[in-house]
């Protein structure tokens, strides 16, 4: 099934009804849906959660395909729709790899975002050697032929990519600019509009996520193209560094939306200096969450696309030496803290899908000298919750035990196993259940629970008192 602009709007309309019904029944107090996949949650709120797809992994790696299809409702070709891939020799088009992605997307009910028609990088040599009218004709022919081929399959295109340089907002001094002059941008959009009037036409770039000279220049170009009805959206790549979501990002996207444009986060990743610590992975989760929230805060944000699936798939280590781990999944296809944070930001249930079995974050030092000692360990934190493991160790033989502690902040137990008692308030008084009360000296037993912490604070580790029954 094709996911066009029109269909997405219909999806949004459907969601309003469902959400209203749910509220009427009093089903939701925290407005979190029970969705446990990114795409389930994103579908509920009518936006795209996309991913850049690597063609050779798509062909050869079943686990990769399953992960993409399970978690994302939109795809972008990481490389195979670029000009050097689509038209390696003049007039000879190779659509097969792109078709493979389009077929995969249609089989899995995903939309396809087109990347990209006019870019200074990954262009074939033959086109770089043209100029003047010959270059213009080649550009227009590439746009027309490519968009016609995927008309109805690709709902939006990065018509031009990275056309502003990093030097004070000047146009990038590319072979396109040198060969045609600055009108080439408008000519590209005119060709694109004519080729597929139903596709959304975007500009796209990096380092324009906040308000700065480069995004200011895009704002000017956008005003001109909007006045000519040639532009529908602005793509913000958001290749970010840990802890550096620009403070002006929401304001920046909003000013483009206020021009009547859609906005989209098109290539999100958050790179970390390696090796990444647990604390850095938590910071990364917050960064991802913030970016997704910026999109959900803006009515005309069409979605968020992450630039790759697993950390090992990313372009980052090849280009930024010493940096890595920028994505939502690790190389065992397991979700990272950032995944849970994105799921929550989309309104889904960010709870852990695979609590880690090792590498605990924090452990309380056990008090000594009493009949029993107890510890709490944060096993798997996410932004507004965490899973804890508890242990009770008998220092003498016991026929039962009680552990108590007080949460310092908004933490509250939502569900627990292998304990019972007064669990849900700020002060917890929990006792053994039937099977784990009798312990001989030196023996240990375990229990566990999940908490919610609506204020997003760090999961704390309170001091636990253990008392024999």
Applying CB under 6 A, among 219, 315, 320, 407 the residue interacting with ligand G2I is 315
Residues 121, 167, 178, 251: which binds ligand G2I (CB under 6 A)? 121
Contacting residue, 36, 103, 122, 415, with ligand G2I by CB under 6 A: 122
- Judge whether 267 counts as a catalytic residue: yes
Site for ligand G2I in 357-416 (CB under 6 A): none
Complex with ligand G2I: residue 187 or 206, whichever CB lies closer: 206
3-class DSSP state for residue 52?
strand
- Within 10 A of 95 (CB to CB), how many other CB atoms are there? 17
Structure tokens at 134: 């010959």
Q: Of the candidates 151, 89, 154, which has an alpha carbon nearest to the alpha carbon of residue 115?
A: 154
Q: Which of 399, 302, 270, 414 is nearest to 351 (CA)?
A: 414
Residue closer to ligand G2I, measured from CB, 121 or 443: 121
* Strands across the sheet containing 385-394: 372-382, 385-394, 444-452, 412-417
Binding mask 12-41 for ligand G2I (x = CB under 6 A): ------------------------------
Distance CA 52, CA 72 (A): 10
Catalytic, 280? Answer no
Q: Does 78 bind ligand G2I (CB under 6 A)?
A: yes
Cα dihedral 103, 310, 263, 212 sign: negative
Cα separation, 174 vs 165, whole angstroms = 9
Which listed residue (71, 162, 250, 344) is catalytic? 162
Q: How far is the CB of 358 from ligand G2I (least distance, A)?
A: 32
C-alpha span between 342 and 308 (Å, rounded): 15
In the numeric block, which tokens belong to residue 267? Answer: 């290539």
Residue number, 196 or 267, with CB nearest to ligand G2I: 267
Residue nearest to ligand G2I (CB): 315
Per the CB < 8 A criterion, the answer to whether 84 and 123 are in contact is yes
| Burial tier of 225 (Cβ tally within 10 Å: 0-12, 13-18, 19+) | buried
Between CA 226 and CA 341 the distance in angstroms is: 35
Residue ranges in 217-246 that form contacts with ligand G2I under rule CB under 6 A? 237
Indicate whether 427 belongs to the interface with ligand G2I (CB under 6 A).
no
Q: Which positions from 146 to 185 touch ligand G2I by CB under 6 A, shown as an x/- string?
A: ---------------x------------------------
- Residue 235 or 385 having the CB closest to ligand G2I: 235
Choose between 194 and 319: whose C-beta lies nearer to ligand G2I: 319
- CB 334, min distance to ligand G2I, A: 22
Q: CB–CB of 80/56 below 8 Å?
A: no
Nearer to ligand G2I by Cβ, of 158 and 282: the residue is 158
Residues annotated as part of the active site = 162, 267
- Residues at the interface with ligand G2I (CB under 6 A): 78-79, 121-122, 161, 206, 237, 267, 315
């Amino acid at each position: 099934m094709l996911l066009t602009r029109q269909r997405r709007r219909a999806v949004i309309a459907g969601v309003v009804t469902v959400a209203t019904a749910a509220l009427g029944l009093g089903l939701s107090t925290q407005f979190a849906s029970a969705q446990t996949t990114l795409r389930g949650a994103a579908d509920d709120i009518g936006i795209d959660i996309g991913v850049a797809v690597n063609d050779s992994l798509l062909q050869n790696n079943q686990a990769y395909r399953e992960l993409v299809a399970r978690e994302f409702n939109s795809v972008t070709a990481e490389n195979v729709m670029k000009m050097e891939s689509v038209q390696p020799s003049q007039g000879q088009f190779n659509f097969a790899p792109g078709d493979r992605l389009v077929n995969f997307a249609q089989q899995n009910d995903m939309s396809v975002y087109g990347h990209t028609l006019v870019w200074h990088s990954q262009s074939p040599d033959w086109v770089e050697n043209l100029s003047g009218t010959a270059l213009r004709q080649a550009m227009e022919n590439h746009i027309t032929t490519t968009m016609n081929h995927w008309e109805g399959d690709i709902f939006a295109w990065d018509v031009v990519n990275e056309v502003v340089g990093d030097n004070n907002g000047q146009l990038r001094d590319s072979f396109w600019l040198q060969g045609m002059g600055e009108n080439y941008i408008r000519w590209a959009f005119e060709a694109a509009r004519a080729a597929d009037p139903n596709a959304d036409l975007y500009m796209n770039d990096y380092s324009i996520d906040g308000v700065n000279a480069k995004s200011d220049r895009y704002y000017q170009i956008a005003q001109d193209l909007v006045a000519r009805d040639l532009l529908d959206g602005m793509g913000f790549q958001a290749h970010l560094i840990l802890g550096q979501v620009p403070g002006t990002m929401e304001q920046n996207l909003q000013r483009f939306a206020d021009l009547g444009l859609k906005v989209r986060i098109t290539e999100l990743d958050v790179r970390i200096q390696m090796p990444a610590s647990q604390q850095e992975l938590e910071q990364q989760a917050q960064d991802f969450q913030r970016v997704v929230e910026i999109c959900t805060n803006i009515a005309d944000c069409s979605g968020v696309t992450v630039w790759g699936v697993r950390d090992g798939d990313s372009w980052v280590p090849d280009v930024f030496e010493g940096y890595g781990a920028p994505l939502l999944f690790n190389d065992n296809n397991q979700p990272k803290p950032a995944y849970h944070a994105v799921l929550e930001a989309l309104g889904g249930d960010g709870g852990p899908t695979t609590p880690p079995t090792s590498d605990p974050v924090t452990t309380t030092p056990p008090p000594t000298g009493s009949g029993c000692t107890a510890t709490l360990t944060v096993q798997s934190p996410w932004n507004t919750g965490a899973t804890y493991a508890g242990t009770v160790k008998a220092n003498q033989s016991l026929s039962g035990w009680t552990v108590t502690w007080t949460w310092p902040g908004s933490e509250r137990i939502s569900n627990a196993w292998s304990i019972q008692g007064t669990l849900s308030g700020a002060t917890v008084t929990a006792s053994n259940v039937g099977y784990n009360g009798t312990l001989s000296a030196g023996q240990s037993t375990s229990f566990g629970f999940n908490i919610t912490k609506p204020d997003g604070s760090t999961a704390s580790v309170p001091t636990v008192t253990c008392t024999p029954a």
